[in-house]
Structure 1
Amino acid sequence: MVFILALLAAIALIWCLSAITEKIRLGLSLSQALLYAPFKLFYRICDSRIQLARNAQAPLIYVVTHQSRIDPALMLSLLPDDTLHILDSVTAKSIWMEPWRELARTIAFNAEHVFVSRRLVRALKGKGRLAVYIPANVEPDLRSFRLYRAVIRIAIQANARIVPIFIGGAQTLPFQASGKAPATRHWFPRLKISVLEPMNAAELLARNGSPANRNAHALFDRVAEARLAATDEDQSLFQAVRNAAENFGPGRIALEDATGSKLSYRRLLTGARVLGRDIAGRTRPGESVGIMLPNANATVLALLGIASAGRVSALVNFTAGPANIEAAMNTAVVRIIVSSRSFVEKARLEEIVQALEAVGMEFLWLEDFRASATLREKLCAALLWRYPLIRQDAQKPAVILFTSGSEGLPKAAILSHRNLIANAMQAEARVTISTDDIALNVLPMFHSFGLTAGTLLPLFNGIRLFLYPSPLHYKLIAQLAGRIKPTVMFGTDTFLAQYGRAASDGDFSSLRFAVAGAEAVRDETRKLWRERFGTAIIEGYGLTEAAPVVAVNTAIHGREGTVGRLLPGMAMRIEKVDGVAEGGRLFLAGPNVMMGYMTAERPGELQPLEEGWHDTGDIITVDNEGFITITGRAARFAKIAGEMVPLGILEVLAQDLWPQERHAVISIPDSKRGERIILVTTASKANVESLRKAGKQAGIAPLAIPATIIKVEEIPALGSGKTDYRHTRQLALEELGSSKK
């Protein structure tokens, strides 16, 4: 009995001391501090940003993302006691919430009341504070989205500022506000309270450079930024996967590839540590190490092993040819390349290997590595799998990717650990995914879309990932999808169209959606997937320099013909272009935008971006809800008789006329009109007269219509499936040259 009393007294003392500490530290009332102290002790809450919410000048609306049942209790304990909290009906009636409800004024949530009430505006005017709890859906339905409209309307009428609040980690608590148990349950996760700076409606609209973004969408974007801010970007790729292992279970299967090999998080990180130690013994800290491997478990293992050793992965585009690959490796100053003899043999890459070895580059063959790894090294790695080999720095380079070079010579884009992790988390804050999903990635990792969206995003979020080595095996990929039943898939329009035609009716029926990027999605591809598989293709926009995702449609918030809306945390700047009447040239900034370039003229030297802004070279328009339409590239305009002609529109025109074929429109110098437009096409029936008629109906000036058509069996393409305009232009010039002889 004495022991029990002593124990209770010790608990009471700890409770009181903790409450006093929180009262002094945060300026809480004694009642608030006493009720907050248990949360602080149990959940080890990071609350350094809450003072921003407490000290902000009223009138204010706190917009809290409502994930778990404890969220209102936390906010009642932490927000100023003169705040009016609008609670849902369950929270307003729960018996256990009674002590917290006594801390401040509360009213029960009533949807109709919230949308029409003048009482809330009156409560805010002057020095009022209001806390509204928004459903936690990443993609809110139309009914939930009404709440965003209501909040922004009330803020405008009351001249109030808005403070978004998100409690990171609360999504894993067993008592969810939605009533649905989380896929991964933790009773006492570490919580992080994310609070953003207060902004009024006008500031929200002007924040990311969008010219006419609607109020509700601006608030929706701001709330998504609060979600993003709750994630830990200050970690390396190795640490991010390690954290996923701890969140979702070390024994959870993370990867599977076409060989049938399956890797749990623990086995993946163990193997990465063994390989990383071998690489560390051959290289210097910060040195670039090449990876020439297909989509397979070994590629991810090499990527994480190199990161663990504090080196930088230079991903080799093995479809680029010996000369381009040698130039790329010289630009990145690569001495050692990780590869596999069996892969080189199957992919017939012997010529590339010989060319690289001839200039002094060394290959680390995975077959040799497996044979040479000692039992001691394997045991040490198995014990220390959670820990990287050297101290990690999220701000340092993690990966070197080479731009597609569709219009010129490729450049080396340097992406930090933070760039890659931020981009994966930006996508996670916009598109609904869960641990119930199975992802199929056929896009090569040397392509930024295949690396970040197709590989890292699933790994960080506990999604089982299946890697397939080549996107060109159309029939085999369709059959594979029918067997493994993926729910999420990544591809380009070119590849998705081929898969859709090669598949049997049920092969892709398990997909919730397919994410398409790298090139515009054609209407016939959407129709094919919708009619055959009942699957929506959600289109996005990205570039290697942005790690790569910049904007994306979602299943609920989407608009065909656009590439979606800007990701949270990014800012855009649109500059006018001479001769372009609508829209302008897009500049981007954000946590996912690269550190800078390396070029062949200055190998190994990082050339940082000017003031953090990247010139995309893309010409865009933005509608009043923030949806972005790509109208062309600055390099994809031709100047004909003084008029700027977007070549992309002409490709769309040809695609509408001959939808089953591939088309590329290029321009070449012309002594009379400045430039000459040429259509390169696989359509054997293509003719100038049909183009002119269609152009007239579409309102395209006659001088813009290609007067020359070159028919080919195949349009040159990059490894990602995008049109290779540089080689298409060379092909056209050769064809025109031979026709003159």
Structure 2
Amino acid sequence: MLTLSVVSPKSLTKKPEILFLVRDRYPFKCKQFFFQRDTTCCREPAKTAIATNHPVAGNDHAAIIVAHGARHRMHRRLPGAQQLLRGIETYPIDMRLRRDAARLAVAAMELPVAQPGRAGHVERTRAAPQAVAHFLLGPEQPGVVAVAWSGRGQRRWRAALLDEREQPLRQQQVRAQARQRAAPPAITGDAQQVARAIGRSTGEFERQVDTEQHACIGLGADLVVHHRLGADVRRPPLHMDDIEQQPAHVPTGRDGEAERCRRRHQHHTGRGDAAFAVGGMETSLAILWGLAGFTLYLYRDPARPGFDLALGACIGLGLLTRVDTVLWIGPLVLAHWIAILRERADQPLWRRIPWQTWLTAALIVLPDFFVRFVILLLTRCVYRIRAVGLDRLPREGGALLVSNHASWVDALLLSALTQRRIRFLMDREISRWRCLRPIFRLMNVIPISAQDTPRRLLEALHAARAALDDGYLVCIFAEGALTRNGNLLPFRPGLERIVKGSSYPILPIYIDGAWGSVFSYYRGRLLSSLPRQIPYPVTVLIGPPLPPHTTSAEVRRAVIELAGQAFDLRRGPDRTLPAAFVRTARRCWFEPAVSDTSGRALSFGRLLAGATALATELDRAAPDQERIGLLLPPSVAGALANAAVQLCGRTAVNLNYTWTPATLAAAARQAGLRTILTSRAFLEKLALPAPPAGSVCLEDLAARLGPWRRAAALLRAALAPARRLTPRPPGPDDLAAVIFSSGSTGVPKGVMLSHHNLLSNIDAFNMVLHFRPNDRMAGVLPFFHSFGFTCTLWCPLLSGFSVHYHPNPLDGARIAQAVRERRLTVLLATPTFLLTYLRKAQPEDFASLRLVVAGAEQLKPRLADAFEKRFGVRPLEGYGATELSPVAAVNVPDREIDGVRQVGNKPGSIGHPLPGVSVRIVDPETGAPLPDGVTGLLLIKGPNVMQGYLGQPARSAEALRDGWYVTGDLARVDGDGFVFLGDRLARCSKIGGEMVPHAAVEERLNEALGALAPVLAVTAAPDDRKGEQLVVLCTPAAGALDALADRAAQLDLPNLWKPRRENFFAIEALPLLGSGKLDLARLRELARELVAARAAAREG
């Protein structure tokens, strides 16, 4: 056993064989540091002395590490060094000196000590290393000369030091320079010559370089040489006078040179202080391999030679890759587990002793690395981790990792990414779990809690900062709690405190895929369901490093942008609507899929079979057409036709059947449609003058399907490979649909949406609303509306729950009856439709609803309150646009799980952005980003953003700015991440140089009348004096115009916001679109016509 002692330099009586002169990094007046511990064993006592408080010059501090001994092997160095480390931990000295002394002790474990070739060499060489050190450094100048070497060939490099024929620095020259006490000469290629002097004759130098172990590091008064990978890098000298007094956590010296050298040394020798001890554990490793071999012998079975071969391969691999801890201990643990699998119940106890002994020995000798490896192995077996941006993790030195927190295994997933040790800030209650407390202690987690006192919080933050100073990676889950609803919670400002005043980078991290696993709260509680697949796919994205002065809000935005990249990485050949539909239909073959109020219903299996048969006929009817139009209401036939269009690899274009024939024909020409799927019965109800050009009725296609074709389609749907069901399989970026916008602000535009756009939006929608397999959705939205196409058609078909359709969303009585009879649980509608149901449905009709989401227009608080009071469920407002596939943000129900309540909605807001969707508030005129709480123009970026407008590249470029979609809406974001929507920029008038929102004035007027439904609308008309003037168009339900004008004058509004008395006009009804939204373009035309008619009457 090697004995390490801390003694005074004067007490050294023997000349050392190897001399290390180490300059301390911190300038402070060092008191006497005395620590003595002597133990001896083996045949010859071996002593190693570490001496501190070596006076050099003034207040400079230095330490001498010396090692001497003759016949002990490398593995004998370990126990004494461990004793020294334990003593340093308990000795009451300055913490900075304690860390330095600990590093010196660990470095002593790496000193290459070997047997000389023969005894006579001992006397000849005792003074040689000391002379070399004096020659390079000078007797009065502090510095470092360190040599790291493996166990192989150590006799030969010692012999090379004695061989004058091969040594460039001859002993006589060295001793002469030492006697003259001369300053270090400028030697050409200093580090290279020293390294070659040590390793030329052994051939080990190149091998050590290849394994990234530094052959020589010299830190002296005249040069700093870092020799790695054969490079000779010179740095300016580091003098004690250049070092200013700094706190212990701030790197000192010229550009922190000493700190960087220490971190490089950590990286090359094991990525952490504790890793230094691994390199010299040949004996312990041999014992472990011996136990593994003994286990192999006991459990050999001639009938099963495969196990023996596997064990032999594991042991051989471990012996070959022993340099790296994970590489050599990993095969050993794997071999042990294979041996356990081969165990039979009838074997006696003595046969189970070897592997039990091995397990105990592994836990005792290397508890930290053993547990880390077991965690790594389990994580890699259960999860398939894909790391993106792993090269952004610093290979050395401290960095703060900031990640989202979606599951209980997030820390394990991050630990499995790198061999560098990561210290986590963990909730204090979790760190106290009795079953996991030893593991957390080995991982050196830093406990913290939101309920801690300010002092305890500061202590945890200071501990994180100290870990950064020690060169560790520190990870903080800045949300402060595990998400319960899938949204990214606000980041707490503690991360700013950790890196304040330092140079440590902040790395944003997003873990994609953990939410929805069995270790998340997606289903309401942990381990409430079986994993969807094993290994479970998880993607971890590491963003570019951020400067330490970055605020928590900016870090959160960086993490959100990484979430958008994570959704983009989900692209794949099977990430298309037809492929996803085939997978879901086969998984839920006998489950109900679609039904409607006409009495028709299909299971997922029958729907897939029918769509397969219809796709075959459709491919024959339109063999060379890329796009196929559909003129069908929300029904079983409409869902079947849309599925068939996707299976045959075409782009679906659902046309608005509320348009006039002229508008319908114009849209068909714009989309290049030559075939339009429709129904003869539906055309009769529309009462069109003539069917659209190119119409193909579903009744005619169904008549061509005889019994044999139907049976063949059923067999193909059930048994054929999925790729055979789509003869022209699309790619994820190919067009899936062209949906025409509502046209609320102008002419409808054809929006091009890809398969990736729609699937990403459906995935994100599911992540926050948590649809269940037993959910039943009320499908009242038309398929030509993006909200209906994505959320009431494809969302249930791809998620595996059923949907019940009704063609007329304004038929409140029939819809209420369907909800009551079918026990529907989910309702997606617009506020206009909800108002209709509020009037026509009874409270018991909607008793089964658990989730109501309103979109496409603003949900008034009065309507939400009345709906909740009558039916017991509050509608949640969402926001989107056709260009966004369509959902961008949505409120979600509050969730309370395990005593933690997380708010998912706020009155008046549109909720949090969906996962993967980034929002930015900018100045409408300059485009400069605005801080939280300030109203500006809303920009949105994410995987759901459209590919562009059909045939309108100029308008596409205007709407998309570097991937950000310009919504045209005014909004603000509060401190909790909720988005509050204002008015559309197009609905704002600039009157007298001030922006006046129409919606705000309109809402106050409707409130003054006490109306739930809008009975008036505010728009603008040109004005010669102030540019624009507000115009109020009132329906008969608004009452007398004079009384309304008097009420408007009494409102608490700025004078510019109050419409003039003469600008109140009566109309029969407000112009609406087919989706129920206000037709703003028609509203402006009416206002201009009425104002122009009034002006003409005055002139006349």
Do Structure 1 and Structure 2 share a fold, with TM-score over 0.5? yes
Cα distance change of structure 1 residues 277 and 687 upon mapping to structure 2, 3 Å threshold: same
Q: How does 1:355-394 map to 2 (within 5 A)?
A: 356-357=692-693, 362-373=694-705, 374-375=709-710, 376-384=712-720, 386-387=722-723, 388-394=726-732
Cα offset for 1:703? 6.7
Cα distance change of structure 1 residues 381 and 85 upon mapping to structure 2, 3 Å threshold: same
The TM-score normalised by the length of structure 2 is 0.58
Q: How does 1:333-732 map to 2 (within 5 A)?
A: 333-345=672-684, 347-351=685-689, 354=690, 356-357=692-693, 362-373=694-705, 374-375=709-710, 376-384=712-720, 386-387=722-723, 388-555=726-893, 556-567=903-914, 568-572=916-920, 574-577=922-925, 583-599=935-951, 609=960, 611-640=962-991, 643-658=994-1009, 659-662=1011-1014, 663-671=1016-1024, 674-682=1027-1035, 683-688=1037-1042, 690-691=1044-1045, 693-694=1047-1048, 697-702=1051-1056, 704-706=1058-1060, 707-732=1062-1087
Count of equivalent residues: 718
Q: How does 1:216-227 map to 2 (within 5 A)?
A: 218=557, 221=560
Asked if 1:291 is matched to 2:291, the reply is: no
Cα distance change of structure 1 residues 286 and 202 upon mapping to structure 2, 3 Å threshold: farther
Distance 2:1076 2:971 in 1: 22
Distance 1:256 1:721 in 2: 24
The TM-score normalised by the length of structure 1 is 0.83
Partner of 2:471: 127
Cα offset for 1:465? 2.7
Structure 1 residue matching 2:722: 3-state secondary structure: coil
Unaligned residue ranges in structure 1 (runs of 5+):
206-212
Cα distance change of structure 1 residues 674 and 40 upon mapping to structure 2, 3 Å threshold: closer
Deviating more after overlay: 467-476 vs 218-227: 218-227
Cα offset for 1:412? 0.8
Matched AA of 2:786: S
Q: How does 1:154-169 map to 2 (within 5 A)?
A: 155-157=498-500, 161-166=506-511, 168=513
Partner of 2:610: 271
Partner of 1:210: none
Percent identical across equivalent pairs?
25
Does structure 1 conserve the Cα–Cα contact (< 8 Å) formed by 2:410 and 2:511? no
Distance 1:270 1:94 in 2: 54
Does structure 1 conserve the Cα–Cα contact (< 8 Å) formed by 2:509 and 2:559? no
Match of 2:645 among 299, 306, 318: 306
Higher relative contact order (CA 8 A, sep 6+): 1
Structure 1 residue matching 2:950: 3-state secondary structure: strand
Does structure 1 conserve the Cα–Cα contact (< 8 Å) formed by 2:676 and 2:695? yes
Partner of 1:239: 579
Cα distance change of structure 1 residues 541 and 96 upon mapping to structure 2, 3 Å threshold: closer
Structure 1 residue matching 2:401: 3-state secondary structure: strand
Distance 1:669 1:570 in 2: 36
Unaligned residue ranges in structure 2 (runs of 5+):
1-299, 335-373, 894-902
Does structure 1 conserve the Cα–Cα contact (< 8 Å) formed by 2:403 and 2:509? yes
Does structure 2 conserve the Cα–Cα contact (< 8 Å) formed by 1:120 and 1:154? no
Does structure 2 conserve the Cα–Cα contact (< 8 Å) formed by 1:168 and 1:227? no
Does structure 2 conserve the Cα–Cα contact (< 8 Å) formed by 1:441 and 1:465? yes
Distance 1:78 1:71 in 2: 11
Distance 1:64 1:600 in 2: 39
Give CA-to-partner distance per residue, 1:561-609, whole Å, 9 cap, x none: 232333333343523349xx97333343322111111258999x99994
Cα distance change of structure 1 residues 368 and 151 upon mapping to structure 2, 3 Å threshold: farther
Cα distance change of structure 1 residues 305 and 249 upon mapping to structure 2, 3 Å threshold: same
Does structure 2 conserve the Cα–Cα contact (< 8 Å) formed by 1:165 and 1:223? yes
Deviating more after overlay: 314-323 vs 706-715: 706-715
Structure 2 residue matching 1:511: 3-state secondary structure: coil
Distance 2:325 2:393 in 1: 9
Structure 2 residue matching 1:536: 3-state secondary structure: coil
Does structure 1 conserve the Cα–Cα contact (< 8 Å) formed by 2:827 and 2:851? yes
Cα distance change of structure 1 residues 607 and 215 upon mapping to structure 2, 3 Å threshold: closer
Distance 1:16 1:717 in 2: 76
Distance 1:187 1:618 in 2: 41
Structure 1 residue matching 2:1017: 3-state secondary structure: strand
Cα offset for 1:447? 1.0
Asked if 1:63 is matched to 2:430, the reply is: no
Cα offset for 1:223? 8.3
Does structure 2 conserve the Cα–Cα contact (< 8 Å) formed by 1:228 and 1:429? no
Cα offset for 1:652? 1.1
Distance 1:437 1:156 in 2: 47
Match of 1:325 among 664, 674, 699: 664
Does structure 1 conserve the Cα–Cα contact (< 8 Å) formed by 2:581 and 2:798? yes
Does structure 2 conserve the Cα–Cα contact (< 8 Å) formed by 1:572 and 1:586? yes
Cα offset for 1:641? 5.2
Distance 2:792 2:569 in 1: 23
Matched AA of 2:1017: A
Deviating more after overlay: 692-701 vs 440-449: 692-701
Does structure 1 conserve the Cα–Cα contact (< 8 Å) formed by 2:921 and 2:972? no
Cα offset for 1:296? 1.9
Structure 1 residue matching 2:386: 3-state secondary structure: coil
Q: How does 1:66-145 map to 2 (within 5 A)?
A: 67=407, 73-85=412-424, 104-106=443-445, 112=451, 115=457, 117=460, 118-125=462-469, 127-131=471-475, 137-139=483-485
Distance 1:160 1:179 in 2: 36
Give CA-to-partner distance per residue, 1:211-243, whole Å, 9 cap, x none: xx8479658846865875675576211123334
Structure 1 residue matching 2:581: 3-state secondary structure: helix
Matched AA of 1:149: R
Cα distance change of structure 1 residues 608 and 364 upon mapping to structure 2, 3 Å threshold: farther
Distance 1:712 1:639 in 2: 25
Structure 2 residue matching 1:191: 3-state secondary structure: strand
Does structure 2 conserve the Cα–Cα contact (< 8 Å) formed by 1:441 and 1:468? yes
Does structure 1 conserve the Cα–Cα contact (< 8 Å) formed by 2:969 and 2:984? yes
Does structure 2 conserve the Cα–Cα contact (< 8 Å) formed by 1:52 and 1:195? no
Partner of 1:208: none
The alignment's C-alpha RMSD in Å is 4.3
Structure 2 residue matching 1:572: 3-state secondary structure: strand
